[in-house]
Amino acid sequence: MAKRSSLSIRIVEGKNLPAKDITGSSDPYCIVKVDNEPIIRTATVWKTLCPFWGEEYQVHLPPTFHSVAFYVMDEDALSRDDVIGKVCLTRDTLASHPKGFSGWAHLMEVDPDEEVQGEIHLRLEVLPGARACRLRCSVLEARDLAPKDRNGASDPFVRVRYKGRTQETSIVKKSCYPRWNETFEFELEEGAAEALCVEAWDWDLVSRNDFLGKVVIDVQRLWAAQQEEGWFRLQPDQSKSRRRDEGNLGSLQLEVRLRDETVLPSSCYQPLVQLLCHEVKLGMQGPGQLIPLIEETTSTECRQDVATNLLKLFLGQGLAKDFLDLLFQLELSRTSEANTLFRSNSLASKSMESFLKVAGMRYLHSVLGPIINKVFEEKKYVELDPSKVEVKDVGCSGLHRPQTEAEVLEQSAHTLRAHLGALLSALCRSVRACPAVVRATFRQLFRRVRERFPGAQHENVPFIAVTSFLCLRFFSPAIMSPKLFHLRERHADARTSRTLLLLAKAVQNVGNMDAPASRAKEAWMEPLQPTVRQGVAQLKDFITKLVDIEEKDELDLQRTLSLQAPPVKEGPLFIHRTKGKGPLMSSSFKKLYFSLTSEALSFAKTPSSKKSALLKLANVRAAEKVEEKSFGSANVMQVLYTDDAGRPQTAYLQCKCVNELNQWLSALRKVSINNTGLLGSYHPGVFRGDKWSCCHQREKTGRGCDKTRSRVTLQEWNDPLDHDLEAQLIYRHLLSVEAMLWEKHRELSGGAEAGTVPASPGDGRSCAPGAGCLVPAPPGTYGRGLRTHSQGPHGRLCPQPPRTHWPGCSGCFGAFGRLTAPAWPAPRPRGPTASWSCRREARPALPLLRPWPRLKAPPGCSAPLSLVFLIGVRGPGLFQVGVGGESGIRGSPEVQS
């Protein structure tokens, strides 16, 4: 069982920012810090006081994080970047908004005394004495202190104050991980209410000392405990009154949502996963109702998340194509007009969007990458709308002449035709490059639509169905926002954005098969019509070849791809590998092209050169940041691993920016998270000479001075699938719509329509044939709901006379009513001695979606564990259970867990 926290962050825009440049403007960007650790940097928006970013991130964190802060900075080319202001959200604040924090927040002034971080290790004791007790405070060490000096370090010392008396430790030069091991004693009076204050300071020779944080100890609590030792988080000094420029520094629009999950072992989710998989395998042929129920009870605001979770779950089970095929059929069954097919934000549309992003992102990069790069590099002025044309001067110096509107339009049309033609040509050549599972899914979509809308009048409908996803929901959004699809590192400027928008419109017209409605909307797109019409023919030919894939070809392509491990992350990095003693200088880094797969981290001189393995992923022990002072750069990481002989080694890799640094760290941590022997601590410095630069410790192989952060990762489109997490997210969603599910299920169930309640065994009656007795589905399909049987009294699954049940629980399986998940280990909080009562309602008795992993089957029961269901709690460790077998459900004696 693991507890996981994740942050969904969307940095929308800023407004009314102060001017930091002499031009009366600013070049703002945002840095996101979690517990003062930079993890995200947005793109810079140049020369504006109202920037728009629109960037989204998903960050996975340990549940122990405290706060997330958003710093708005002004980028300067020749000097240090200016700090405009910040917004800080604590974990408690985010937890108080279950649906997420959303809205405008005023930027606050950044006070150096509040910029504290790190922890301090203290040992506190109350010592008895002849006349009075004494308070002993041992200051042992600190870690991750804020660097206050220009060299990227601090000169920390500790000041201990109690009842007007102050004592100080020695100063440790140039370290954010100091070790003191000094002890101080104070006289302690019984009943004294004054607190013990431990403050950390950075010593400065010329200016005043910088505040690093403090810890306040409650002496009364310590008196009761007599002794306490541990790591204490440093806090800012809130006692000083400071002027707040609230509103004067502008505002920042944010959307931040905290999600805490308790993920159980895989075996706990098997009933739910098997139930969903069985539903998908049966498809429209089975009587399943769960997928339609999920779609009907999912609100618009959470439909994208549910679709992504379901898609990833089925992708891990090898059923993504079958799941999407089921959604296609459900969508087609309720669509009567071909023009509106897949145009709404249904579960099918959202699931297909997620599928293309997960399975087709590399394909998207190969097709669009060169064209997008060319548009960014050319930076040509392109405009087709006469009302927006800006007349400009052309020609060399001294021979300027104004360019006419007609010349601008003609040149723009020529540029767009070239880009559109190059894109369509690249697309038509990419049939074999498209992933096999994507091709097979489009094949199913094409066939289903053609079966639903046959005839010559609907000749283009199957093609439009494919392009509605491929062009309108995948390629066009990527062209308009290349940064959001990882095609570019920065947003486009205004001129390039307009070019990309016009190109995306042209692609949409091609995807709509040059529909007359598209031409009527924007008549000024007419100069592109010859290229669009030619593109429609090209696109039809491409789709025909794309969907022409048989099962054997699909398997062959998948087998070929599985033999070639796709890179998880690749790109240029600077490497320095330490060997023995000697100075480590930034100039000793060498630029190489690195490629990370699920098996190894390799490098080469160029992307096309032969790669050499640097290290095996199974040997990685940690991937962490290196403190800035070690190499004079804040963007250096270290990979700690063991060589083939088992000796510890370290590879130092330098990235060009903080985003690239965190992306590489995330990728390395994800692929090595299940390695044995992962380190719990490390040294953020380097071993220079005869000691570590971070903590000055002389033992090279000793315990590290800082804790590793293997759980801090950024979510990417090519992340390894986590089946347990996806199952937990689906289960949590089902719990949130539980009441709606029951109502919808009652509407869809034949027996529920009759409003019947099963007969009670106490009255000696039995269900008459066809009376609508509610019975469970056959074995192997538990939880699929109710069935109305009309052949024979009760049928095989509802024996007569009924078996004995718990007191108060009467009737056959359906009379057990609603069975609720247990208090533990389910994430929904309930008291340890809570009890459940059976309700005689016309409700299906769904099995526990996550059975208790340690629940023992009752004596004489041979039912598998997944069919043991909790009925109630009778006391600590004692539970009532129901057992599902060939003859339905029967009660059992109390069993002990």
Question: Is this prediction's pTM over 0.85?
Answer: no
Measured between alpha carbons, how far is 836 from 872 in angstroms, rounded to an integer? 5
At 201-250, the pLDDT tens digits run 999 988 889 999 999 998 888 888 889 999 999 998 877 655 555 568 99
Note the pLDDT of residue 459: 87
At 850, the pLDDT band (50, 70, 90 cuts) reads: very low
How confident is the model over 666-693, as a mean pLDDT?
A: 90
Residue 538: per-residue pLDDT: 93
Dump pLDDT digits (tens) for 35-60: 888 999 998 888 899 999 988 899 99
Q: Are strands 590-596 and 569-577 parallel, antiparallel or unpaired?
A: antiparallel
Stretch 30-36: mean pLDDT: 92
Q: Is the dihedral of CA 472, 477, 479, 485 positive or negative?
A: negative
Please determine, for residue 136, whether its predicted confidence score (pLDDT) is greater than 70: yes
Question: Between 176 and 758, whose confidence is greater?
Answer: 176
- pLDDT for 577 equals 60
597, pLDDT greater than 50: yes
In a 13 Å sphere around the CA of 697, the CA atoms on its Cβ side amount to 21
One-letter amino acid at 279 equals: E
76: Cβ contacts below 8 Å, ≥ 6 apart: 20, 21, 27, 82
- Averaged pLDDT, 738-766: 55
Give the angle 813-815-820 at the CA atoms, nearest 5°: 90
How many percent of the chain have pLDDT more than 90? 39
Please say whether the beta carbons of 695 and 179 come within 8 A: yes
Neighbours of 883 (CB within 10 A): 20
Mean of pLDDT values over 422-426: 94
Contact (CB, 8 A) for 867 and 883: yes
Residue at 53: amino acid letter: W
**Mean pLDDT, residues 660-667:** 92
Q: What's the whole-number average pLDDT of the chain?
A: 78
pLDDT value of position 242: 58
Closest CA to 660 of 566, 567, 568, 573: 573
pLDDT digits (tens, 9 = 90+) for 794-844: 333 333 333 333 333 333 333 223 333 333 333 333 333 333 333 333 333
Res. 105 pLDDT band, cuts 50 70 90: very high
- 105: enclosing H helix or E strand: strand 101-106
| Model confidence at 779: pLDDT above 60 | no
pLDDT of amino acid 661: 93
Residue 431 clears pLDDT 80, i.e. is over it? yes
Q: Which residue matches tokens 């629940």?
A: 855
Q: How far apart (Å, rounded) are the C-alpha atoms in residues 277 and 313?
A: 9
Q: Which helix (H) or strand (E) holds 349?
A: helix 347-359
**Res. 759: pLDDT tops 80:** no
The two structure tokens encoding residue 86: 């910040």
Cα–Cα distances in angstroms (integers) from residue 454 to residues 306, 324, 447, 457, 501, in the given order = 32, 21, 10, 8, 35
Say if residue 788 is exposed, middle or buried (CB neighbours under 10 Å; 0-12, 13-18, 19+): middle
Q: What is the mean pLDDT of residues 539-551?
A: 88
Look at 23-27, 557-561, 763-767 and tell me which has the smallest mean pLDDT. 763-767
- Cβ(597)–Cβ(567) under 8 Å? yes
pLDDT at residue 849 above 80?
no
Closest CA to 462 of 531, 513, 428, 420: 513
pLDDT at 873 over 80: no
pLDDT for residue 848 is more than 70: no
Preceding omega of 776 cis (within 30 degrees of 0): no
Q: Is 60 helix (H, G, I), strand (E, B) or coil?
A: strand
Give the residue among 68, 190, 195, 60 at the shortest CA–CA distance from 124.
195
Q: How far apart are CA 534 and CA 72, in angstroms?
A: 47
Q: How does 132-161 read in b/e, with b if 16+ C-beta sit within 10 Å?
A: ebebebbbebbbbbbbbeeebbbbbbbbbb
The dihedral over CA atoms of 729, 730, 731, 737, expressed in degrees to the nearest 10, equals: 110
State how far the Cα of 36 lies from the Cα of 233, in Å rounded to an integer.
13
3-state secondary structure of 373: helix
* pLDDT score of 548 more than 70: yes
Question: Can you give the pLDDT at residue 820?
Answer: 35
Round to whole Å and give the CA distance between 241 and 4.
37
What the block records as the tokens of 772 is: 């609508």
- Please give the Cα distance from 204 to 171 (Å, whole number): 10
CA distances from 84 to 28, 251, 818 (A): 8, 11, 56
Q: Which residue has the tokens 């403007």?
A: 25
Residue 397 — very low, low, confident or very high, per pLDDT cuts 50/70/90? very low
pLDDT band at 143 (very low <50, low <70, confident <90, very high): very high
| Residues contacting 754, CB < 8 A, separation 6+ | 772, 788
Closest CA to 572 of 595, 597, 589: 595
pLDDT at site 553: 60
Q: Residue 120 — very low, low, confident or very high, per pLDDT cuts 50/70/90?
A: very high
Length reported for the chain = 897
Residue 565: what pLDDT? 52
pLDDT at 289 over 80: no
Name which residue leads in pLDDT, 322 or 756: 322
pLDDT band at 189 (very low <50, low <70, confident <90, very high): confident
In 677-717, alpha helices (H): none
Question: Any idea which of 30-44, 290-304, 343-357, 649-663 has the lowest mean pLDDT?
Answer: 290-304
Read off the pLDDT of each residue in 430-439 and give the average, rounded to a whole number: 90
Where do the domains of the chain lie, and which CATH numbers do they carry?
2-111+244-257 (2.60.40.150), 119-233 (2.60.40.150), 264-340+722-728 (no CATH), 360-394+401-562 (1.10.506.10), 585-685 (2.30.29.30), 786-897 (no CATH)
Q: Is the peptide bond before 801 cis (omega within 30 degrees of 0)?
A: yes
**What is the phi/psi pair of residue 896, to 5°?**
-110, 135
Give the model's pLDDT for residue 809. 34
pLDDT tens, position by position, 721-733: 888 889 999 998 8
Higher pLDDT, 523 or 804: 523
Q: List, for residues 170-183, the tens digit of each pLDDT value.
A: 999 999 999 999 99
pLDDT of residue 207: 85
Q: Is 250 helix (H, G, I), strand (E, B) or coil?
A: coil
- pLDDT at residue 674 tops 90: no
| pLDDT band for position 479 (cuts 50, 70, 90) | very high
- d(CA 599, CA 668) in angstroms, rounded, equals 11
Give the pLDDT of residue 518.
Answer: 60
What pLDDT is attached to residue 586? 44
Task: Report residue 420's pLDDT band, with 50, 70 and 90 as the boundaries.
Answer: very high
Q: Is the pLDDT of residue 303 over 60?
A: yes
Percent of the chain at pLDDT above 70?
A: 76
Greater model confidence, 872 or 750 = 750
pLDDT digits (tens, 9 = 90+) for 681-716: 999 999 988 899 999 998 988 889 999 998 888 888
Secondary structure of the chain: what % helix, strand, coil (to 5)?
35, 25, 40
pLDDT of residue 158: 96
- Extended beta strands in 647-710, E state: 648-654, 681-682, 687-688, 691-692, 706-707
